[in-house]
Amino acid sequence: MSQPVRATFSTTVGPLLLVGVLGLATACPGGQAAKEPALSQVGIDRALFDKTWPMLVVDEEVRAPYQEGLWVKLVKDRDYARAIKLSQGGLASARFHADAAALYRQGAQATANAYVQYFDAPLGQAYDPPEKAHLLMVGKTLRGDLDGARAQVDAVGQLPEDSPVQPWAKPWSTWLAGDATWPPDLSGFPTSLPDVEVGTWPEVDKRPSYTLKEAEPGDNELSIDDPSLLLGLALWHESAARDAAGDQAKLVEVYGARYRLKVEPAVEERVEMPLEFLFGSDYLSALDASFMAAAHGPKGLAAVDDYQGESFTAAAVVAVRGDDGKIDAVKAIDLANDLRRAWKEEQGLAAGLNEGHHPIFADVAVAGLYRNLAYIAELEGNRETSGKLRIAARDVERDAAAAPEGLLALAAWDADNQYTIRGSEIIHQLARRAPSLEVVRTAFDLIGIRVSRSRGGGTPGM
C-alpha cells in the first residue's frame, strides 16, 4: 500500500511548504513499495545516515523551530538579507551572518580570479593600464599566492601619488611588506561600511571604485570595482556572526572554514555543529564541518581516515573512491542518486507518511554532498572530477537547493578556468538579492570579452 501524503510539516501549515508543495508531495509509485530499499544500496553505515539533518528533523518537535519565517527565508528562499533582518540574535543570527560571510568571500574570490586571469599572462596585454599591478597584487593575495603578490609591490609603488588605485593599494602594500598576518587592516580602505551590528545587512556603495585608462589601441576606460569591497563585507559578516554566537564563536570559524580564502590561516578544530548550523546546509552531520575544515588545513586528505566513522561526508568520500584511491565521478553521481531516493524514502518511513518537504530536503542534502565531494576532489588534484561534481550540484540546485555561496564558488571556479558564461548567469541571479555582488559582474564582464576575443568567439569550459 502507498503511504499517505501530507503537504505540510505538521497539522499547522509550515510556511516553508506553501510554494510548489503540491508538485513535490509524492506517494510510492503505483501504490507499491520499492522492491529494494534505497538505503541498502548506499553502502554507508545506517547510524551515520540517521544522524544526517534531513533525518533529524523528521521529528515534528525537533523541526518546529525551523518553520518560522526567518528560516523559510534562509532555507527555502535563500534570502540571506531578509533572514538576517528577521533574526533576533543567538545561534540563528550567527548562522545567517556566517552564510553571508561565505557568500561574500566567494564573491571576492571570483572577482580576484577574474582580474588575475584578465591582466596576467597569457591574456594580459601590453596596453593594459599600469594600475593593473594593484589588481594583480590583490588578486594574487586572495588566491594565496603571496610571492606573486609581492612581485607586484614595486610596480604599485611606482604609480603616481594621485593614481585612483592608491587609496586601495597602500594598505595592501603595507601589509605585504610586513609579516602579512591575516587579516589586513581594512580601516585604510575608502569604504563606508557601518559598525558591525547583528541583524543588519550593509551594501557597498561608490561604484565603480575607479576607472582606469588603457594606453592603446583605443584608449578605452575600464570601470573597476575593487575586490577589497567584497572582502570587507565578508569580514564584516564574520564579525557579526561571532558577536551573535558569543562564547560559541568557534562554531562560526569551523562552519566557514571550507569557504575561507587560500590566504587565510586554516581552521582545524573538532566541533560538533548544532542543528542551527546544520539545517538546510551542505553539512549533513554534526562533524562534517570539522572534517572539511581539517581537510582544507595541514591535515589534508588524511582527515578522511580520521573522520570516516563519524562524518557522513567523510564516509561518502570513502564510498566513491575509484581504483586509484581518488573520488570517481561516476561513483559519486550513483551514490548521490541512491541517497536522494534513500532520504525521500526514509523520511517518509520515519514520519509514517510522505510530506512535501521530504523531496526538498533530499535535494538540498544531495547538492551539499556534491559540493563537498567536489572540494575533496580538488584537494586530490583532480580538477576535472571536481568540475563535474560542481556542475552536478548546480543541476539539482533549484529553489531550496540553490545555496548562493555554492553557486558563487562555482562562478569563482569558472573564472579561474576562463569560462564566464555560466558565472555571469549566476551573478545576474544572485545580485537581485545581494546587490553588492554587482562587483563580481564588473570583473566578469571584462574577462568575458577578452576570453571571447582570444578564442575567436568560442565558449570554452565544462
Mean pLDDT by 10 residues, the chain (462 residues): 41 31 34 59 90 95 85 88 93 97 97 96 92 97 97 96 94 94 87 92 90 82 94 97 98 96 92 96 97 94 96 97 97 96 95 92 96 97 95 87 92 92 92 94 91 62 56
Confidence at residue 456, expressed as pLDDT on a 0 to 100 scale: 54
Q: Among 449, 401, 393, which residue's Cα sits nearest to residue 424?
A: 449
- This prediction has a pTM of 0.90
**Residue 461 located in a structural domain:** no
Residue 205's pLDDT is 83
Is residue 139 situated within a structural domain? no
Residue 348 lies in a domain: yes
Beta-bridge partners for 222: 212
Q: Is the residue at 26 inside a domain?
A: yes
Give the per-residue pLDDT at 4.
Answer: 47
pLDDT of residue 399: 72
pLDDT at position 36, please? 64
Amino acid present at 356: G
Residue 192 lies in a domain: no
Calculate ∠ Cα 140-141-142, nearest 5°: 90
User: How many structural domains compose the chain?
Assistant: 1
Residue 244 lies in a domain: no
Q: Amino acid letter at 138?
A: V
What is the reported pLDDT for 28? Answer: 40
Distance of alpha carbon 436 from alpha carbon 393, whole angstroms = 24
Q: Report if residue 40 sits inside a domain.
A: yes
Q: So what's the pLDDT on residue 43?
A: 84
In a domain? residue 424: no
- Residue 25 pLDDT: 35
Cα separation, 379 vs 295, in Å, equals 8
How far, in Å, CA of 192 to CA of 183, rounded? 18
141 Cβ contact partners less than 8 Å away, ≥ 6 residues apart:
112, 149, 172, 176, 263
Which uninterrupted H or E stretch holds 150?
helix 146-150
Placement of cell 539539482 in the chain: 396
Residue numbers of the domain that contains 12: 1-67+282-402
pLDDT at 23: 30
